[in-house]
Amino acid sequence: MRVLGIETSCDETGVAIYDSKEGLLAHTLYSQVSTHAEFGGVVPELASRDHVRKTIPLIEQAMSEARCTKKDIHGVAYTSGPGLVGALLVGAAIGRSIGFAWQVPTIGVHHMEGHLLAPMLESNPPAFPFVALLVSGGHTQLVKVEKLGSYEILGESLDDAVGEAFDKTAKMLGLGYPGGAALAALAEKGNSDRFHFPRPMIDRPGLEFSFSGLKTFAINTAHQYGLDEETRADIARAFQDAVVETLVIKCRRALHATSLSRLVVAGGVGANQMLRQKLHDMVKKENAEVYFPRQEFCTDNGAMIAYVGCQRLLAGQRGDLSIRVFPRWPLDKIC
Ligand code: KG4
Ligand code: ZN
């Protein structure tokens, strides 16, 4: 089965074509980051308008790269939530319309399920069951994944998502938006012995996270020591050290709690090199394995939506003709 996937939940327009036998045939992406950067965050109306402009050209480009015509496509998948309502509606309307015109089934896909299963696009995909660490701009969750569609949330952030904490701290350090990757680059130059930030909630049992205190800690440190170049790098380093160590501790705890030995990491923060390295070190000691999507599929993309859509269509699921989206949609409420 060959599926066209469309992602428009936030500030990236992603389109891909996935074939159940041949794998990923094409993927195209347009990032709106520069549009939103001057506003310091995503402006929903501008995001919707850009999706309107870009989605169909990207579909044409992906179809041409995959050397497909409409007759080669057996289904259309689009992100139906969670995300920005206007942005989601663009992808949903286009996806449903193409399905209707080409007379193929369509299906709405949960954005976070896309992230969760993105490592399945790699040459050495994880087998079920596994523990997944989902770390994006809006989510920080540990999830027990039994099989496609069976997701038990083991723990999540009680306040800021980890990507959000990266972005807010980066903004305070004058790194623009979204600043996660820039903060990580600055941290490379920092001294990890100068400041020690707390590791939130590691003394308590359980798998919950809290990251808003770390951001405040970074602000207070900046007030006390100023923001010269060296101090900015040292703050970035201390912040990243604390986030990464906290995530690693909780991942180890989740593997123990579930008696599982496979860990999957997904979402934008999964692109963080230090996190990847420290998780590799941890699983080695635990006799476990860790799986990451390639860097470009850590952040939002159409490939993960095409992949999940294909699995669900193969399982016989079908959407109807209605165009509905779900801005808030907990991962464990997928059916
Ligand atoms: O999954 P994603 O593309 O979008 C959401 O669905 O939220 O994740 C974006 C988040 C942003 O907060 C961004 O700053 C963060 O991922 N991010 C990083 C890195 N690259 C992206 N955070 C830390 N280190 C990175 N290298
Ligand atoms: Zn995402």
Task: Please tell me if the CB atom of residue 200 comes closer than 6 angstroms to any atom of ligand 1.
Answer: no
Q: Is the Cβ atom of 180 under 6 angstroms away from ligand 1?
A: yes
pLDDT reported for residue 219: 95
Q: Is the CB of 167 under 6 A from ligand 1?
A: yes
* Mean pLDDT for all residues in the chain: 97
User: For residue 167, which ligand has an atom nearest its CA?
Assistant: 1
Angle (deg, nearest 10), helices 212-225 and 229-258: 160
Going 121 to 122 to 123 to 124, the CA torsion angle's sign is negative
Nearest ligand atom owner, CA of 267 = 1
The pLDDT of residue 107 is above 90: yes
Structure confidence by residue, pLDDT tens digits, 201-260: 999 999 999 999 999 999 999 999 999 999 999 999 999 999 999 999 999 999 999 999
Which of 42, 116, 269 maximizes ligand 1 atoms within 8 Å of its Cβ, making it the mutation to test the pocket?
269
The pLDDT-based confidence of 177 (bands split at 50, 70, 90) is confident
From the CA of 185, give the closest atom in ligand 1. Answer: 26
- Please give the distance, rounded to the nearest whole angstrom, from the Cα atom of residue 268 to the centre of ligand 1: 3
Residues with CB under 5 A from ligand 2 (ion): 136, 300
Write the pLDDT tens digit of every residue in 123-139.
Answer: 999 999 999 999 999 99
- 43-65 mean pLDDT: 98
- Mean pLDDT over 139-143 rounds to 96
Q: How crowded is residue 222: how many other Cβ atoms within 10 Å of its Cβ?
A: 16
Predicted local distance difference test score (pLDDT) of residue 333 = 87
Domains and CATH numbers, the chain: 2-117+297-333 (3.30.420.40), 128-292 (3.30.420.40)
Q: For residue 166, is pLDDT > 90?
A: yes
Q: Mean pLDDT throughout 91-108?
A: 98
Do 175 and 229 contact (CB within 8 A), yes or no? no
Label residue 38 exposed, middle or buried (CB < 10 Å: 0-12, 13-18, 19+).
exposed
Average pLDDT over residues 131-149: 96
- Quick: pLDDT tens for 264-323: 999 999 999 999 999 999 999 999 999 999 999 999 999 999 999 999 999 999 999 999
**Torsions phi, psi for 326 (to 5 deg):** -130, 90
Q: Which atom of ligand 1 is nearest to the CA of 161?
A: 12
Burial of 335 (C-beta count, 10 Å sphere; 0-12/13-18/19+): exposed
pLDDT band at 30 (very low <50, low <70, confident <90, very high): very high
Pick the atom of ligand 1 nearest to 267's CA: 1
| Per-residue confidence band for 335, with pLDDT thresholds at 50, 70 and 90 | confident
State the pLDDT at residue 332.
87
Bridge partners of 157, per DSSP, are: 209
**Residue 105 alpha carbon to ligand 2 centre in Å:** 24
58-83 per-position pLDDT tens digit = 999 999 999 999 999 999 999 999 99
Task: Give the ligand 1 atom nearest the CA of 111.
Answer: 6
CA distance 280 to 19: 30
Closest Cα to atom 21 of ligand 1: 268
Nearest residue to 314 (alpha-carbon basis) of 148, 68, 82: 148
Q: Which of 207, 216, 238 is nearest to 168 (CA)?
A: 216
| pLDDT band (50, 70, 90) for residue 104 | very high
Structure tokens that stand for 143 in this block: 């999830």
DSSP tag of 209: B
